[in-house]
Amino acid sequence: MVCIVCGRPTGRTWLCNTCRTPYQRVWVIGEREGVLQRLVGLYKFSRAKAAYKDIGDLLLAVLPELPGNTVIVTVPTVYGHIRERGYDHMLLIANYVAKKRNLKCQRLIGRKTDTKQRQSTAIQRAKQAKSAFEIRGKIDSDKIYLLIDDVVTTGATIKYAAKALRDAGAKNVWVAVVARQVLK
Ligand SMILES: [Zn+2]
What's residue 116's pLDDT?
58
Which residue has better confidence, 170 or 82?
Answer: 170
What is the number of other CB atoms lying within 10 angstroms of the CB of residue 62?
Answer: 14
The arrangement of secondary structure in 25-180, i.e. its CATH architecture, is 3-Layer(aba) Sandwich (3.40)
pLDDT tier at 119 (50, 70, 90 boundaries)?
low
What's residue 122's pLDDT?
74
Q: Within the chain, how many helices (H) and strands (E) appear?
A: 6, 7
d(CA 11, ligand 1 centre) in Å: 12
Dist. CA 8–CA 52, nearest whole Å: 30
Residues with CB under 5 A from ligand 1 (ion): 3, 5-6, 16, 19
Dist. CA 135–CA 73, nearest whole Å: 11
Dist. CA 169–CA 39, nearest whole Å: 35
What's residue 130's pLDDT?
76
How do the domains of the chain map onto residue ranges?
Answer: 25-180
pLDDT tier at 117 (50, 70, 90 boundaries)?
low
Average pLDDT, the chain: 90
d(CA 6, ligand 1 centre) in Å: 4
**DSSP E strands, 5-160:** 25-31, 70-74, 104-106, 109-111, 133-135, 144-152
d(CA 10, ligand 1 centre) in Å: 8
DSSP β-bridge partners for residue 174: 25, 146
DSSP β-bridge partners for residue 28: 177
Interval 41-73: pLDDT, tens: 998 888 788 999 999 999 999 999 999 999 999
120 has a pLDDT exceeding 70:
no
Cβ-Cβ contacts under 8 Å for 2 (sequence gap 6 or more): 8, 9, 10, 14, 180
d(CA 96, ligand 1 centre) in Å: 30
Mean pLDDT value across residues 89-101: 96
pLDDT tier at 36 (50, 70, 90 boundaries)?
very high
